[in-house]
Amino acid sequence: MCKPIPLATIGYESAPQARVIDELKKAGVEVLIDVRAVAASRRAGFSKGLLSSSLNDAGIDYVHLRELGTPKEGRMAARRGRTAEMREIFEAHLAEPAAQLQLAQAIEIARGRKAALLCYEADHRGCHRAIVCEHMREAADFAVENLHPTTL
């Protein structure tokens, strides 16, 4: 029997960049897979360029898989607390060929190195990254660990 493949998720909603990176390092993450449709943030340190550079300095690779992000209408539903509507919108998006290709990329990356999926929401249960994990687990035996960085 094969050993499950470790896969982490992390949200940065309630933590500064340094705390998120510390949590990733503590979990042994080798590559961060950014699953935001828009890799920009009003939160300091979480826009694509700065985040990628900071992760690189910490010895963690960065990959942005934009097609694994929630479309705008899904993000709007999530902000309103309509998780079921967000899920429906995201599942339809995930069925698209470009999203399927990037899902396959995420699976391949995570099979080779300890990976973590990153998005904004602190609670994975209300975030589309949980749905991405579900689909990844259909393809391989991933053991998902949801990391919870807190403010310093």
Considering the entire predicted model, what is its pTM? Answer: 0.95
Domain edges within the chain: 5-147
pLDDT tens-digit readout, 65-109: 999 999 999 999 988 989 999 999 999 999 999 999 999 999 999
Residues, the chain, total?
A: 152
Q: Following CA atoms 7, 39, 85, 124 in sequence, which dihedral angle do they give, to the nearest 10 degrees?
A: 30
Residues 28 and 114: beta-carbon distance below 8 Å: yes
Mapped onto helix, strand or coil, the DSSP state of residue 101 is helix
**Other beta carbons less than 10 A from residue 42's beta carbon:** 6
Range 5-147 has CATH code 3.40.50? yes
**Other beta carbons less than 10 A from residue 144's beta carbon:** 18
pLDDT tens-digit readout, 14-41: 899 999 999 999 999 999 999 999 999 9
C-alpha separations of 127 from 70, 112, 131 in Å: 9, 25, 8
Residue 21 burial by CB count (10 A; 0-12/13-18/19+): exposed, middle or buried?
buried
Residue 31 burial by CB count (10 A; 0-12/13-18/19+): exposed, middle or buried?
middle
